[in-house]
Amino acid sequence: MRKLVVLLLLMTTAFASCETYVYSATTDFSSPDTYPDCFGAAGRYKEAALCYSSEANANNANMYYKKAAEYYLKGIAYVGPSGDYPLRAPSYEYAGDMEAQIGDKALAANYYDLAASEYLKVEDLAGVNAVNAKKDALTVAPIKEEPQTGFAITSENLALGVIVVIVALVLFFYIRRPPGVEEAPVEVESTPIFRTEEPRLEPERDAKQNAKDKMRDKIRKKYGLE
């Protein structure tokens, strides 16, 4: 019944506290005398350490990382040259992981070497490569990113600059002449021009018509018809 209560508490992580993992390690594996019990207790202490680390409680986190490493190593004593002999390698590896979390690089490197030796005994080359990579990572200093002091021209910055220029041009022409609005015609005042009309000239009479008129006038005058 007690184990069932602990299991339920572990499943409801939203309401569980870091002490729940410690309680499980001390009650479910109070006197571990087999490899599975030691491995189980180490896992619970590791979960407690991760929980305290997420809460920025470095002291408790380091304490339970160390506790987990002790139980990973303790379980090796119960592993013999039988079918479970390959379990020695991951036990050393996980102990090295816990020491690396604490910051003890020398001790972590020692456990990684022991793990690599055990992996070679069972011809697990993938395991050897994995622990060697972890050991190498211990000596690699974290890269500190220096703040940029200038503007670096990259493809992203160049593309962003082109987009900004295009948008600026569109806004410029849009504000200068809004689309859909026609400009009203500008009325230009002009000075009226007065033209003087030239007198129309009477067309000259035909020479024959003039002769007839003269003859008619002469006859009217002779016979007193005027």
Give a yes or no: residue 153 inside a domain: no
218 vs 153, more confident? 218
- 9: number of Cβ within 10 Å: 17
| Lowest pLDDT segment from 21-30, 98-107, 149-158, 209-218 | 149-158
- Structure-token match 């992996």, residue found: 119
* Domain count along the chain: 1
Report the 10 Å Cβ neighbour count for 128: 17
Q: How many other C-beta atoms lie within 10 A of the C-beta of residue 17?
A: 13
Q: What is the mean pLDDT of residues 91-111?
A: 95
pLDDT band at 156 (very low <50, low <70, confident <90, very high): very low
CATH number at residue 75: 1.25.40
Cα–Cα distance for residue pair 32/25, rounded to 1 Å: 10
The residue range of the domain holding 79 is 38-138
User: Is the whole-model pTM more than 0.85?
Assistant: no
The structure tokens 């180490």 sit at: 42
Q: Is the pLDDT of residue 53 over 90?
A: yes
Q: Is 203 inside a domain boundary? A: no
In a domain, 56, yes or no: yes
Report if residue 21 sits inside a domain. no
Say what the pLDDT of residue 15 is: 43
Domain for residue 105, yes or no?
A: yes
